[in-house]
Amino acid sequence: MIEVERLTKRFPLPDGGEITAVDGVSFRVEPGEVYGLLGPNGAGKTTTIRMILGLLSATEGVARIAGFNSSQHPEEVKRRVGVVSANAGVYHSLTVAEMLLFFADVYGVPPAEAREEMNRLAERFGFNELLRRQCGTLSTGQRQRIHLARAMIHRPEVLLLDEPTVGVDVLGSQVVVEFVDLLRLQGKAVILCTHRLEEAERLCTRVGLLHRGKLVSEGTIPELQARTGKDRLVDMFLELAGVGRLLDAPAEAASA
Per-residue pLDDT tens, the chain, 256 aa: give them: 899 999 999 999 999 899 999 999 999 999 999 999 998 888 999 899 999 999 999 999 999 999 999 999 999 998 999 998 876 777 899 999 999 999 999 999 999 999 999 999 999 888 999 999 999 999 888 888 899 999 999 999 999 998 887 777 788 788 888 899 999 999 999 999 887 778 888 889 999 999 999 999 999 989 999 999 998 888 888 888 887 555 555 555 555 5
Q: Rounded to an integer, what distance in angstroms lies between the CA atom of residue 254 and that of residue 64?
A: 51
Residue 106 inside a domain? The answer is: no
Residue 36 lies in a domain: yes
d(CA 113, CA 33): 27
Give the model's pLDDT for residue 231.
87
The total domain count for the chain is 1
Burial profile 64-93: b = 16 or more Cβ within 10 angstroms, e = fewer = bbbebebbeebebbbbbbbbbbbeeebeee
CA 244 to chain CA mean position, Å: 28
Closest CA to 39 of 233, 222, 177: 233
Give the span between the Cα atoms of 52 and 190, in whole angstroms.
12
- Please report whether residue 253 resides in a domain: no
Q: Is residue 59 part of a domain?
A: yes
Q: Is residue 40 a part of any domain in this protein?
A: yes
Q: How far is residue 26's CA from residue 128's CA, in Å, rounded to a whole number?
A: 41
pLDDT at position 173 = 82
Distance CA 237, CA 224 (A): 9
| Parent domain of 219 | 1-80+191-243
SS3 content of the chain, % helix, strand, coil (to 5): 40, 25, 35
175 part of a folded domain: no
> Are residues 134 and 146 in contact, defined by beta-carbon separation less than 8 angstroms?
no
pLDDT at residue 210, as a whole number: 92
Q: Cα 137 from chain centroid? A: 26
Phi, psi dihedrals of residue 51, rounded to the nearest 5° = -70, -40
Q: What is the CATH number of the domain that holds 65?
A: 3.40.50.300
Q: In Å, what is the CA distance from 196 to each residue of 102, 106, 167?
A: 32, 32, 13
Q: Quote the pLDDT of residue 64.
A: 96
The number of helix segments (H) and strand segments (E) in the chain equals: 10, 10
Give residue 123's Cα distance to chain centre: 24
What does the pLDDT read at residue 196? 79
pTM equals 0.87
**Beta strand 18-29 pairing with 2-12:** antiparallel
- Contact criterion met (CB below 8 Å) for 191 and 49: yes
Q: How far apart are CA 113 and CA 226, in angstroms?
A: 48
Q: Does residue 93 lie in a domain region?
A: no
